[in-house]
Amino acid sequence: SQTIHQWPATLVQPVGSPLSLECTVEGTSNPNLYWYRQAAGRGLQLLFYSVGIGQISSEVPQNLSASRPQDRQFILSSKKLLLSDSGFYLCAWRRRYSGNTIYFGEGSWLTVV
């Protein structure tokens, strides 16, 4: 069976500090990978998606970046966090060639202080 792991679960970071959130998927290969953010009082917004190693597409301009160094690893980063980066970050995956269901990880709570 497939599983998705995301860490850390909770993070409190000062403004201007760097960020690294990591996500890995097990039990599948060549998945489509996604980073979503859920800000307080707002819906889920797609930040980045990837269809393969090193291939990153951004949905919205922002202070964040993403990387996919391995097939089943997806990393969300920032060099200098802003207060507005606070929120709940969710990694997700989908089988590329069959099935439409998108599966989500448990999420990472980021508070920038």
Least distance from other proteins to the Cβ atom of residue 72, Å: 16
Q: What are 55's strand-pairing partners? A: 52
Give the residue with the Cβ less far from other proteins, 4 or 79.
4
Least distance from other proteins to the Cβ atom of residue 84, Å: 19
Task: Give the span between the Cα atoms of 79 and 13, in whole angstroms.
Answer: 12
Task: Give the span between the Cα atoms of 70 and 37, in whole angstroms.
Answer: 22
Task: Give the span between the Cα atoms of 40 and 56, in whole angstroms.
Answer: 26
Least distance from other proteins to the Cβ atom of residue 70, Å: 18
Give the residue with the Cβ less far from other proteins, 18 or 28.
28
- In the complex, which residues of this chain contact other proteins (CB under 8 A)? 6, 32, 34, 42-46, 49, 51, 57, 59, 90, 92, 94, 96, 100-107, 109
